Structure 1
């Protein structure tokens, strides 16, 4: 059978043949036929051809295809008869021959064992940026831990508003911890290969905490709206119980939606490439690597952008328009300024969080942005707001500053008393 195909083939048509004996006199051969060369993925050299190797762990004559795809160490596990990059596999068993092509309905599902993150590989002097990331992460951890400790220790801050602020600090801390340490390990220490399952988990946690940060900013805008527009009913509407309920709904919605978005990746056959052109396991660059229909994933990406960015921002803008109208009705200028100061810190958080993100997306749609500039801008948009949020709330909120001073005085008094007791003893 092998000779029959070989006699009618052009020279060099058969690149690889792999045979494995089975029971009796029947042998199973897997032959990789290379048709006219296709453009190599991700800029690989045309001489890089897929290599077919044995896989003892798979049954039924399954073989493991290792696409060199720019990095020889990366592998994807395919079953016998799969087609990748224009190569068709023929399986012969005795007198039976089955031919599969990527246009047939029986194309084998391709799930790579690993992905390769390629985000900062082409950025010059990237090591200086990694040092900057270490500094940003250290400030983020210290700042958010500090604001959470202040809210926990100061009884005057045990209100519904500061429950939301505490939740924002947790979201900022967890979001930065999900992204920055892995990013530094990936590119600074050149651990750019990541397993399929770990990549999906990475994607889930980054998107989940980004979503929580955005939704928490909207909750804080709602708190200011009620405080200024309905001051007499504020403590009846925005209670601790109501705030915990809102946060619980946020977590349920975010976990459900992001888990659904990530799980839909598993239905994709990733056979174009395993190189992800991003600094983390980003949803968009990954689902675009699929060879089968990814329309659902594209729709989920658009819905995610609408829920993550557009909807909270629109609701926040509407809230501030309503707040501005209420402020104009205040007769006394001093009271108006006092009310405006309560919104200053939150307004700055919204500006820092949304303006760079919206600006980057608009620029990407209207003009050409160099890939390196886009990656740097996107990463800064994710890491800078969590670092600045606790600083802004500490310096621009009078209640927090007063609480810090009271805690400092209390600690100083307690220290003095302890020293006096020691001297008396």
Structure 2
């Protein structure tokens, strides 16, 4: 039976990562450093790829988009948490909460799909090198990136509209450091079955399906690498793919725990720890993972930094 004459919450209280005041200074310093590294690292990769014509290839085009998405994903959640810790005010208005939730899912879906797209790109480059330029053409690149942007916008909008119809008439304390969907659903005093079904449907599309495609791509890649006659060639191919697999393990390992595991095994602490991994840690590590073993990208970064230093001096 639907509740009547109830007023939905006009704001929520974000309880944050820890409710102990003595830990907030440490958390502020830690996440400020992580966010600065995330911003600088991802923006450097975008600038290096855009400024070096040798990097205007499909692989680096996808990497630039992933860096942009990682930057936006971290910016959507971490600065608000830092402001809340610094000011001591943990409130977030209802419209701002829905907006944050929208962009979190928008960039989170983009992240998942782009990682799968990059796995497909590596599969074609290693398994079909002679046909790579034909298969991964400019038109295909635009479709592989533009399609997910439109899809993410549509799915995130549905999530937000479904959430906007709910009523929050009990406590407005959210045991999280940003407005995530699953903690919000627990606070609602109306029926959330439609939301929960849509969550599982979307999770299957944007988490399980890309993960299966990635695993299938890398199974084919491993078979192709094993057939390479030279040990040096095998080592180079494994080195190229290992960085991508690191991202896959970090990102999907944590998102599956939040959105596909049964609610009986999930706790607020586990959800917050997983959220830190895919909203702060993974976006921070991606620039290092993709650049440390990539000579072309390292060279472009050195040229960019030296050019900036030369122009400033």
User: Unaligned 5+ residue runs, structure 2?
Assistant: none
State the 1:346 CA deviation: 1.5
Residue 383 of structure 1 is matched in structure 2 by: 280
Conserved? CA contact 2:225–2:234, under 8 Å: yes
User: Unaligned 5+ residue runs, structure 1?
Assistant: 1-102, 420-425
Residue 295 of structure 2 is matched in structure 1 by: 398
Conserved? CA contact 1:151–1:166, under 8 Å: yes
Which deviations, in whole Å up to 9, do the C-alpha atoms of 1:270-292 show, x marking residues without a partner?
A: 22322222111111121222222
Instruction: Report the 3-state secondary structure (helix = DSSP H, G, I; strand = E; otherwise coil) of the residue aligned with 2:169.
Output: coil
State the 1:106 CA deviation: 7.7
State the 1:219 CA deviation: 0.7
Figure out how many residues of one structure are paired with residues of the other and give that number.
Answer: 311
Pair 1:126 & 2:24 matched: yes
Conserved? CA contact 2:16–2:81, under 8 Å: no
Indicate how the Cα distance of structure 1 residues 208 and 408 shifts in structure 2: closer, same or farther if over 3 A, else same.
closer
Indicate how the Cα distance of structure 1 residues 245 and 265 shifts in structure 2: closer, same or farther if over 3 A, else same.
same
Which deviations, in whole Å up to 9, do the C-alpha atoms of 1:342-384 show, x marking residues without a partner?
A: 2232222222323344467799868675x44642443233201
Residue 153 of structure 1 is matched in structure 2 by: 51
Structure 2 length-normalised TM: 0.89
Instruction: Report the 3-state secondary structure (helix = DSSP H, G, I; strand = E; otherwise coil) of the residue aligned with 1:194.
Output: strand
Pair 1:335 & 2:237 matched: no
Aligned pair partner of 1:248 in 146, 158, 181: 146
Greater RCO (Cα-Cα under 8 Å, separation 6 or more): 2
Instruction: Report the 3-state secondary structure (helix = DSSP H, G, I; strand = E; otherwise coil) of the residue aligned with 2:92.
Output: strand
Residue 170 of structure 2 is matched in structure 1 by: 272
State the 1:116 CA deviation: 1.7
CA separation in 1, counterparts of 2:166 and 2:261?
A: 30
Which deviations, in whole Å up to 9, do the C-alpha atoms of 1:154-184 show, x marking residues without a partner?
A: 1100111111000001001111111110111
Which structure: larger Rg?
1
Q: How does 1:274-423 map to 2 (within 5 A)?
A: 274-358=172-256, 371-372=268-269, 374-405=271-302, 411=307
Structure 1 length-normalised TM: 0.67
Conserved? CA contact 1:344–1:396, under 8 Å: no
What RMSD over aligned residues (CA atoms) do the two structures have, in Å? 2.7
Between Structure 1 and Structure 2, the one with more helix by share is 2
Conserved? CA contact 2:200–2:260, under 8 Å: no
